[in-house]
Protein backbone atom coordinates (compact mmCIF):
# COMPACT_ATOMS: atom_id res chain seq x y z
CA UNK A 1 0.00 0.00 0.00
CA UNK A 2 1.25 3.45 -0.92
CA UNK A 3 0.34 6.87 0.43
CA UNK A 4 1.20 10.35 -0.79
CA UNK A 5 1.38 12.98 1.95
CA UNK A 6 1.81 16.66 1.14
CA UNK A 7 3.54 18.76 3.77
CA UNK A 8 5.08 15.55 5.06
CA UNK A 9 8.45 16.73 6.33
CA UNK A 10 7.40 17.90 9.81
CA UNK A 11 4.51 18.45 12.20
CA UNK A 12 1.20 16.76 11.46
CA UNK A 13 2.37 15.43 8.10
CA UNK A 14 5.33 13.69 9.70
CA UNK A 15 3.08 12.27 12.43
CA UNK A 16 0.79 10.84 9.74
CA UNK A 17 3.75 9.35 7.88
CA UNK A 18 5.02 7.61 11.01
CA UNK A 19 1.67 6.02 11.75
CA UNK A 20 1.20 4.82 8.17
CA UNK A 21 4.72 3.35 8.10
CA UNK A 22 3.94 1.45 11.30
CA UNK A 23 0.95 0.01 9.45
CA UNK A 24 2.97 -1.23 6.50
CA UNK A 25 2.56 1.62 4.05
CA UNK A 26 5.14 2.98 1.68
CA UNK A 27 5.01 6.78 1.84
CA UNK A 28 5.82 9.50 -0.64
CA UNK A 29 6.37 12.73 1.25
CA UNK A 30 6.37 16.13 -0.37
CA UNK A 31 7.28 19.52 1.05
CA UNK A 32 8.98 22.72 0.01
CA UNK A 33 12.05 21.73 2.05
CA UNK A 34 13.41 18.43 3.30
CA UNK A 35 14.04 18.02 7.03
CA UNK A 36 16.38 15.90 9.09
CA UNK A 37 13.38 13.90 10.22
CA UNK A 38 13.02 12.53 6.70
CA UNK A 39 16.58 11.20 6.84
CA UNK A 40 15.74 9.42 10.09
CA UNK A 41 12.64 7.85 8.57
CA UNK A 42 14.55 6.74 5.48
CA UNK A 43 17.12 5.05 7.72
CA UNK A 44 14.49 3.34 9.86
CA UNK A 45 12.20 2.29 6.98
CA UNK A 46 14.64 1.56 4.18
CA UNK A 47 12.98 1.51 0.76
CA UNK A 48 9.63 2.61 2.18
CA UNK A 49 10.13 6.39 2.28
CA UNK A 50 10.47 8.70 -0.71
CA UNK A 51 10.77 12.49 -0.72
CA UNK A 52 9.81 14.84 -3.56
CA UNK A 53 10.44 18.55 -3.18
CA UNK A 54 7.18 20.27 -4.09
CA UNK A 55 5.57 23.66 -3.55
CA UNK A 56 1.90 22.93 -4.11
CA UNK A 57 1.18 26.56 -4.95
CA UNK A 58 3.12 25.83 -8.18
CA UNK A 59 1.16 23.72 -10.68
CA UNK A 60 4.42 22.62 -12.29
CA UNK A 61 5.63 21.21 -8.98
CA UNK A 62 2.34 19.38 -8.51
CA UNK A 63 2.71 17.79 -11.94
CA UNK A 64 6.28 16.78 -11.07
CA UNK A 65 5.00 15.05 -7.93
CA UNK A 66 2.26 13.26 -9.87
CA UNK A 67 4.77 12.15 -12.51
CA UNK A 68 7.06 10.71 -9.85
CA UNK A 69 4.26 8.67 -8.29
CA UNK A 70 3.02 7.49 -11.68
CA UNK A 71 6.45 6.38 -12.84
CA UNK A 72 7.39 4.77 -9.52
CA UNK A 73 4.12 3.08 -8.58
CA UNK A 74 1.61 3.42 -11.44
CA UNK A 75 -1.22 3.79 -8.95
CA UNK A 76 -1.53 4.32 -5.22
CA UNK A 77 -3.97 3.93 -2.35
CA UNK A 78 -4.16 7.07 -0.25
CA UNK A 79 -3.73 10.80 -0.82
CA UNK A 80 -3.33 12.94 2.30
CA UNK A 81 -3.67 16.65 1.62
CA UNK A 82 -1.85 18.06 4.62
CA UNK A 83 0.38 20.84 3.27
CA UNK A 84 -0.48 24.20 4.76
CA UNK A 85 0.98 27.43 6.03
CA UNK A 86 0.01 29.99 8.62
CA UNK A 87 0.17 33.73 7.92
CA UNK A 88 3.72 35.10 8.05
CA UNK A 89 2.40 37.76 10.43
CA UNK A 90 -0.94 37.63 12.22
CA UNK A 91 -2.92 40.70 11.19
CA UNK A 92 -6.39 42.00 11.86
CA UNK A 93 -8.70 41.28 8.93
CA UNK A 94 -8.91 45.04 8.31
CA UNK A 95 -5.16 45.09 7.67
CA UNK A 96 -4.57 41.94 5.59
CA UNK A 97 -3.06 42.70 2.19
CA UNK A 98 -3.82 40.83 -1.06
CA UNK A 99 -0.27 39.45 -0.86
CA UNK A 100 -0.93 38.12 2.66
CA UNK A 101 -4.15 36.50 1.48
CA UNK A 102 -2.59 34.94 -1.62
CA UNK A 103 0.38 33.48 0.28
CA UNK A 104 -1.91 31.44 2.53
CA UNK A 105 -4.71 30.55 0.13
CA UNK A 106 -2.42 29.67 -2.79
CA UNK A 107 -0.98 26.83 -0.72
CA UNK A 108 -3.76 25.84 1.66
CA UNK A 109 -6.73 26.16 -0.67
CA UNK A 110 -5.72 26.39 -4.33
CA UNK A 111 -2.86 23.94 -3.82
CA UNK A 112 -5.07 21.37 -2.12
CA UNK A 113 -7.67 21.63 -4.87
CA UNK A 114 -5.23 21.07 -7.71
CA UNK A 115 -3.18 18.36 -5.98
CA UNK A 116 -6.44 16.44 -5.64
CA UNK A 117 -7.52 17.11 -9.20
CA UNK A 118 -4.17 16.08 -10.70
CA UNK A 119 -3.95 12.86 -8.68
CA UNK A 120 -7.49 11.67 -9.46
CA UNK A 121 -6.51 9.67 -12.60
CA UNK A 122 -3.99 7.61 -10.59
CA UNK A 123 -6.48 7.10 -7.77
CA UNK A 124 -9.06 5.89 -10.29
CA UNK A 125 -6.63 3.13 -11.30
CA UNK A 126 -6.94 1.71 -7.80
CA UNK A 127 -10.70 1.15 -7.56
CA UNK A 128 -10.79 1.54 -3.79
CA UNK A 129 -8.68 4.61 -3.05
CA UNK A 130 -9.07 7.17 -0.32
CA UNK A 131 -8.40 10.88 0.05
CA UNK A 132 -7.97 12.57 3.43
CA UNK A 133 -7.96 16.35 3.68
CA UNK A 134 -6.44 17.90 6.79
CA UNK A 135 -8.31 21.09 7.55
CA UNK A 136 -8.59 22.67 11.01
CA UNK A 137 -11.01 23.74 13.68
CA UNK A 138 -10.37 27.13 12.06
CA UNK A 139 -12.66 26.00 9.24
CA UNK A 140 -15.58 27.04 11.47
CA UNK A 141 -13.90 29.11 14.21
CA UNK A 142 -13.40 32.80 13.51
CA UNK A 143 -9.96 34.20 14.36
CA UNK A 144 -9.99 37.83 13.25
CA UNK A 145 -6.21 38.09 13.47
CA UNK A 146 -5.67 35.40 10.84
CA UNK A 147 -8.73 35.53 8.68
CA UNK A 148 -7.00 34.33 5.52
CA UNK A 149 -6.09 31.09 7.32
CA UNK A 150 -9.69 30.54 8.44
CA UNK A 151 -10.98 31.17 4.90
CA UNK A 152 -8.48 28.68 3.47
CA UNK A 153 -9.49 25.96 5.91
CA UNK A 154 -13.21 26.58 5.40
CA UNK A 155 -12.54 26.14 1.70
CA UNK A 156 -10.95 22.75 2.32
CA UNK A 157 -14.22 21.64 3.89
CA UNK A 158 -16.00 22.40 0.62
CA UNK A 159 -13.22 20.79 -1.43
CA UNK A 160 -13.89 17.64 0.61
CA UNK A 161 -17.61 17.68 -0.20
CA UNK A 162 -17.08 18.48 -3.88
CA UNK A 163 -14.62 15.68 -4.53
CA UNK A 164 -16.58 13.25 -2.34
CA UNK A 165 -19.66 13.85 -4.49
CA UNK A 166 -17.72 13.66 -7.75
CA UNK A 167 -15.56 10.61 -7.04
CA UNK A 168 -17.92 8.25 -5.19
CA UNK A 169 -18.84 6.48 -8.42
CA UNK A 170 -15.18 5.53 -8.87
CA UNK A 171 -14.89 3.96 -5.42
CA UNK A 172 -12.88 6.87 -4.04
CA UNK A 173 -13.92 8.11 -0.60
CA UNK A 174 -12.97 11.59 0.56
CA UNK A 175 -12.85 12.49 4.25
CA UNK A 176 -11.84 15.53 6.24
CA UNK A 177 -9.98 15.58 9.53
CA UNK A 178 -10.23 18.79 11.55
CA UNK A 179 -7.32 19.01 14.00
CA UNK A 180 -7.68 21.14 17.08
CA UNK A 181 -4.78 22.67 18.99
CA UNK A 182 -1.86 20.48 17.96
CA UNK A 183 1.69 20.88 19.28
CA UNK A 184 3.75 21.63 16.16
CA UNK A 185 6.16 24.26 14.84
CA UNK A 186 3.12 26.23 13.67
CA UNK A 187 1.72 26.58 17.18
CA UNK A 188 5.06 26.95 18.97
CA UNK A 189 4.89 30.76 19.11
CA UNK A 190 1.50 30.69 20.83
CA UNK A 191 1.96 27.51 22.85
CA UNK A 192 1.88 29.31 26.21
CA UNK A 193 -1.37 31.05 25.26
CA UNK A 194 -2.99 27.80 24.15
CA UNK A 195 -1.85 25.87 27.21
CA UNK A 196 -3.44 28.51 29.43
CA UNK A 197 -6.70 28.30 27.46
CA UNK A 198 -6.68 24.51 27.73
CA UNK A 199 -6.04 24.67 31.48
CA UNK A 200 -9.05 26.98 31.71
CA UNK A 201 -11.24 24.44 29.93
CA UNK A 202 -11.46 25.46 26.28
CA UNK A 203 -11.26 21.73 25.47
CA UNK A 204 -12.77 18.94 27.58
CA UNK A 205 -9.60 16.87 27.07
CA UNK A 206 -7.07 19.09 28.79
CA UNK A 207 -3.94 18.71 26.72
CA UNK A 208 -2.58 19.83 23.39
CA UNK A 209 -2.96 17.30 20.61
CA UNK A 210 0.07 15.59 19.13
CA UNK A 211 0.78 14.90 15.44
CA UNK A 212 0.37 11.19 16.08
CA UNK A 213 -3.22 11.81 17.22
CA UNK A 214 -3.99 12.92 13.68
CA UNK A 215 -1.85 10.10 12.29
CA UNK A 216 -3.93 7.50 14.10
CA UNK A 217 -7.13 8.90 12.56
CA UNK A 218 -5.60 8.73 9.09
CA UNK A 219 -4.31 5.19 9.69
CA UNK A 220 -7.81 4.08 10.68
CA UNK A 221 -9.25 5.55 7.48
CA UNK A 222 -6.46 3.93 5.48
CA UNK A 223 -7.30 0.56 7.03
CA UNK A 224 -10.79 0.75 5.52
CA UNK A 225 -12.65 1.38 8.76
CA UNK A 226 -14.57 4.31 7.27
CA UNK A 227 -15.31 2.97 3.81
CA UNK A 228 -19.06 3.61 4.03
CA UNK A 229 -18.30 7.28 4.76
CA UNK A 230 -17.51 10.01 2.29
CA UNK A 231 -17.65 13.76 2.67
CA UNK A 232 -17.45 13.06 6.40
CA UNK A 233 -15.68 15.21 8.99
CA UNK A 234 -13.67 13.74 11.86
CA UNK A 235 -12.99 16.26 14.63
CA UNK A 236 -9.67 15.40 16.27
CA UNK A 237 -9.65 18.34 18.65
CA UNK A 238 -9.91 17.26 22.26
CA UNK A 239 -13.62 18.01 22.20
CA UNK A 240 -13.30 21.65 21.14
CA UNK A 241 -16.29 21.20 18.82
CA UNK A 242 -18.67 20.50 21.73
CA UNK A 243 -20.96 23.38 22.59
CA UNK A 244 -21.40 23.50 26.35
CA UNK A 245 -23.61 25.59 28.63
- The residue count for the chain: 245
With beta carbons less than 8 A apart as the criterion, state whether 133 and 175 touch. Answer: yes
- Cross-strand pairs, 3: 27, 78
Query: Could you give the residue numbers annotated as active site?
Result: 149
Amino acid sequence: MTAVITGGSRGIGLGIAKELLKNGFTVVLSARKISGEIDKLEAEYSGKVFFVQCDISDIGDIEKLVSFVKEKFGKFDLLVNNAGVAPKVRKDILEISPEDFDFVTDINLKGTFFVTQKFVPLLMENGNARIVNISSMSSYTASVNRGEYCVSKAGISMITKLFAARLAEYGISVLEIRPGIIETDMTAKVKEKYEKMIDEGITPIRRMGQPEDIGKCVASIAAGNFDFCTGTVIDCDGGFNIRCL
